[in-house]
Amino acid sequence: MADQVKIMILSGVREQGKDMFAVQVNDEIFVLDAGLKYPDSSLYGIDLVIPDLDFFEKYGDQVVGIFLTHGHADSIGALPYILRQYDIPVFGSRLTIELAKITVKRENKRIKNSLFHVIDAETEIEFKNANISFFHTTHSIPDSLGIDVHTPAGEVVYTGDFKFDPSAAPKYRTDLDRLAEISQKKVLALLSDSSNAEASLPNVSEQEIGEYVTNVFRNATGRVIVAAKASNLIRIQEVLNAAHETGRKVLLTGRDVAKIVRTAMDLGYLYVPKNLLMRVKDLSTTPDNKVVILETGQMGEPLNSLQKMAKKRHSMITIHENDLVFIATTPSHSVETVVAQTSDLVYRAGGTVIELGRAKHTSGHATGRDLQMLIDILKPQFVIPVIGEYRLLEVHRDLAIRAGIKKENVLITRNGDCLDYDFKQKKFNLTDPVPGEDIMIDGSGIGDVGNIVLRDREILSDDGIFIAVVTIDRRKKKIIAQPQVTSRGFVYIKANHQLMNDCIELIKKTINNNFEHKKFDWTEIKQDVRNDLEKFLYKKTNRRPVVLPVVMEVNQNRHRAMQKRSGKNATTGKNNEHHSVDVKKSGKKIVKKD
């Protein structure tokens, strides 16, 4: 049987986050990363978004492992939901595996430690059809690795999140010698990080960032409140170093930072000088100019916590006069508005704000020049831009073409694409797609919220809901009780009595018309009420609330006939000689004793 090599784009293109790709060699599938993304403002009420788990339902018996590049949520965040249903081995560096276990334990208290396997940059794993090896990369978290899949058609290299920084500490440095070694084996395809492809200026070295943070702390006259992502360990180390050099104590807030810092300390990836950390109760006795508060917020997002501090709603910290808020993370485009709103609130509370991203050009992702440098080192036959929104993939394509890659060999893909390598024609062809939809997590529900529910939530957020309740007797073809109407988020009822009364009359008219001209049908009568109300309300208000008609039935004669035939109460079994049923105008069934 001829060899088969496929590259599957499961998630992580034309979007930011939720990275998951796969390489299939004959009957074995190697999954690269399993991340999530946090929802934007258009996903009302959604907590997280993960890749399509139908892939594992369809191909799970062929998946030999999930291989992780680093310990950020965009690489490991989907693991709890995958491992809940499927026993798939997980491979990653020591720190990555420990962070993956923390992530999985949040959702699954009983995890199978036997599924987790620690590897390093020197590891090569032999499978039946392919070998997997790794190489060090530079990112904002130590122990980051790139992945090399050795296939019969050549090497398939996946970078994960990376950048080049020659001045980086040894635990963060990209292994250029290893990349040169891989290039000697004929690189078939390069799946490379596009997140920062638009950047034309080089990233400032982390050594320079560390010096800048120290100067910020030294010049601050009051408390310094640092907002950083819990998993950005390189930035957390710089904050700890700056606090130590300027004689300040550090208070860690947020569950994420406590767990991650403790894990990184235990593994030797984070150095915390002795007596540097403080407790909440020590705040009142420590001078403001000797305090650093490191805030990461829930799930590593510090901005919401900063807003609570500024509004005096935070459980421990309140921003006051002379506080300096140092936003030590570079926000994505989608949260720039939130950063501006947060800064405004801080200033209103009496504090000031410094944003690292405005003062220094820094990112954990490769610039355009870095991407071209990687292409120059590996000399791949095909380049597949991944990890980034569509415009970034296009920028990456232009960079690759200028670096010498043929235009037709730079492949812009979408989630769900499956690229099958043709050994004769030496090119990739699109074949039947693989599952590539979004799975939305809302509370404990996984995938039970889809586009229809989101559309309803959007409408509810725009124009509210209008509820109409009416009770009918379909045998007599009459309305038994006065229709009841109410609304939420649509209009203020007390100020719109006439509108509500008009709606009641419209409901009566609609139902009577239905009785006169149509054969009775529950669905049709509710649809008539809904349609007429929607048109009427839009005409009167230019708003389109969600109209929810509730039609109930009371059949008085049939109920009495059943009682006479049985002579007993259907519920209790007792004689009904001294009971009768009366239906009042409210439509409720009232049992009266004689």
CB of 260 closer than 8 Å to CB of 102: yes
Percent above pLDDT 90 for the chain: 59
pLDDT, position 256: 66
387, amino acid identity: I
Structure confidence at residue 579 as a pLDDT band (50, 70, 90): very low
81, amino acid identity: Y
Q: What is the pLDDT of residues 287-298, one digit of tens each?
A: 999 999 998 865
Q: Average of pLDDT values for 463-468?
A: 88
Structure confidence at residue 571 as a pLDDT band (50, 70, 90): very low
User: What crossing angle do the helices spanning 206-219 and 233-245 adopt, rounded to 10°?
Assistant: 40
Q: Average of pLDDT values for 326-350?
A: 84
Count Cβ atoms within 10 A of the Cβ of residue 101 and give its class: 0-12 exposed, 13-18 middle, 19 or more buried: middle
Structure confidence at residue 348 as a pLDDT band (50, 70, 90): very high
The Cα–Cα gap between 19 and 66 comes to 12
The two three-digit tokens of residue 449, written as one number = 């919220």
Side-chain half-sphere exposure of 329, counting CA atoms within 13 A: 25
Structure confidence at residue 574 as a pLDDT band (50, 70, 90): very low
Q: Average of pLDDT values for 313-323?
A: 91
Q: Per the annotation, where are the binding residues for substrate? A: 361-365
Q: What is the pLDDT of residues 180-196, one digit of tens each?
A: 999 999 999 999 999 99
Count CB-CB contacts under 10 A for residue 58.
12
The CA-atom distances, in angstroms, between 360 and each of 60, 203, 204, 337, 357 are 45, 8, 7, 19, 5
65-77: string of b/e by CB count within 10 Å (b at 16+)?
bbbbbbbbbbbbb
pLDDT, position 296: 81
Q: Average of pLDDT values for 555-568?
A: 52
Structure confidence at residue 419 as a pLDDT band (50, 70, 90): very high
Q: What is the pLDDT of residues 468-525, one digit of tens each?
A: 999 988 788 888 888 999 988 888 888 888 999 999 999 999 998 888 887 778 888 8
Structure confidence at residue 440 as a pLDDT band (50, 70, 90): confident
Q: Answer positive or negative: Cα dihedral of 307, 312, 317, 323.
A: positive
pTM over 0.85: no
The Cα–Cα gap between 70 and 143 comes to 7
Q: Of 4-18, 329-343, 442-456, where does mean pLDDT reach its minimum?
A: 442-456
Q: Per the annotation, where are the binding residues? A: 361-365
pLDDT, position 225: 95
Coil, strand, or helix at residue 482? Answer: coil
Percent above pLDDT 70 for the chain: 87
Render 283-318 in DSSP notation, one character per residue: GGGS-GGGEEEEE--GGG--HHHHHHHHTT-SSS--
The Cα–Cα gap between 472 and 488 comes to 25
**Which of 343 and 257 is assigned the larger pLDDT?**
343
pLDDT greater than 70 at residue 455: no
Q: Which helix (H) or strand (E) holds 161?
A: none
Q: Average of pLDDT values for 222-230?
A: 91
CB of 51 closer than 8 Å to CB of 441: no
pLDDT greater than 50 at residue 101: yes
CB of 291 closer than 8 Å to CB of 251: yes
Backbone dihedral region of 42: left (phi > 0), alpha (psi from -120 to 50 degrees) or beta?
Answer: alpha
CA-based nearest residue to 238, from 271, 265, 287, 267: 271
CA-based nearest residue to 207, from 174, 244, 237, 231: 237
CB of 479 closer than 8 Å to CB of 511: yes
pLDDT greater than 80 at residue 454: no
Question: What is the overall mean pLDDT for the chain?
Answer: 87
Q: Which domains does the chain have, with CATH numbers?
A: 5-200+363-441 (3.60.15.10), 208-359 (3.40.50.10710), 451-555 (3.10.20.580)
